[in-house]
Amino acid sequence: MYTIRAEQPSDVEKIREVNDSAFEQENEGRLIAKIRETEAFVDELSLVAETEQQEIIGHILFSRIGIETESGMAGSLALAPMAVKPESQNKGVGSALVREGLKRAAELGFKSVVVLGHPTYYPKFGFIRASEKGIKPPFDVPDEVFMVLELIPGALDEVQGTVRYSDAILEV
């Protein structure tokens, strides 16, 4: 059993460990640390899954991004990264983190979320190909892995353009 809550300062090292073990590298841990230092970081949208024994077994981060349109910058969120400790994977922890994060993002007034992720995983939460909404990535990726979700139906109807991530994301 686990609960999902916002990260606390004492969780920083444990979050890095979850990401390093899930991805078997340190890039995601460095990414999170860099995003924490920017205006893109949203305290309430860095969530952990914690067991009754206070072990952090999962983490998800949503950070502010923009979509550059002909008429200016439209605000959005990026979902990245999302990680679950290997021994806790395939038990619904990741799905619970995604659902709770999307719910909290909507409650905070965000209108959309962008993800670069697995093309069969994220659609179950309502994500569709970003290209269907006229949203483009800032770099070359396969169309099926770059997705968006409208937290408010129709939120992207008038928003076509290119996603602009925080410089922290592009540096990793």
In this prediction, residue 60 carries a pLDDT of 98
Residues 6+ apart with CB under 8 A from 24: none
The residues spanned by each domain of the chain are 2-171
CB atoms near residue 36 (< 10 Å): 17
17 touches 61 (CB < 8 A): no
Q: Is the Cβ–Cβ distance between 124 and 83 less than 8 Å? A: no
- Kind and range of the H or E run holding 35: helix 27-36
Going by their DSSP bridges, the two strands 161-164 and 135-136 should be labelled as parallel
What tens-digit pLDDT sequence spans the chain (172 residues)? Answer: 999 999 999 999 999 999 999 998 888 999 899 999 999 999 999 999 999 999 999 999 999 999 999 999 999 999 999 999 999 999 999 999 999 999 999 999 999 999 999 999 999 999 999 999 999 999 999 999 999 999 999 999 999 999 999 776 666 5
Q: Tell me, what's the pLDDT at 153?
A: 95
| Topology, domain 2-171 | Aminopeptidase (3.40.630)
Contact 148, 137 (CB under 8 A): no
